[in-house]
Amino acid sequence: MSQETEERVLESLKLDHETFKHLTTVSTGSILILATFLDRLAKAPELKWLIPLAFAALMVAAYTSVVEMFRISHRRVLQKRERKWRPTLVAILSCGCFMVGMLCLSVFVAWNFWRTA
């Protein structure tokens, strides 16, 4: 593998690691926001079934993001041949759960704020 290719692969892995680090941060922050909304919303919020779904999806997103960060950081860059990037099942699960969790959180908050306004 040429020096330029090694540098490109290493930079790509760094960016992937940073992406999942931010996804972990945003997922855990969203769980705290969810808890804050539950504490501050009306006594009888509607669409309560979105709460456990959002919590579970964001927890899975945070966990799988950490798993993916470890996988990326332990990859042996110098032993890999240049090939097309393919997302792993863990990466797809992490991003998918994050999107589901954020959608559930957004719908829950918007619906209950709209209802009380």
Alpha-carbon distance values, 86 to 44, 52, 90 (Å): 45, 31, 12
Q: What is the pTM of this model?
A: 0.82
Q: What is the pLDDT of residues 6-40, one digit of tens each?
A: 888 888 888 888 999 999 999 999 999 988 888 87
How many structural domains are present in the chain?
Answer: 1
Cite the DSSP H helix spans in 1-88: 3-40, 50-73
Containing domain of residue 71, as a range? 3-116
Tens digits of per-residue pLDDT, 38-93? Answer: 887 767 888 989 999 999 999 999 999 999 998 888 775 545 554 556 778 999 99
CB of 91 within 8 A of CB of 65?
A: no
Cα(26)–Cα(44) distance, rounded to whole angstroms? 27
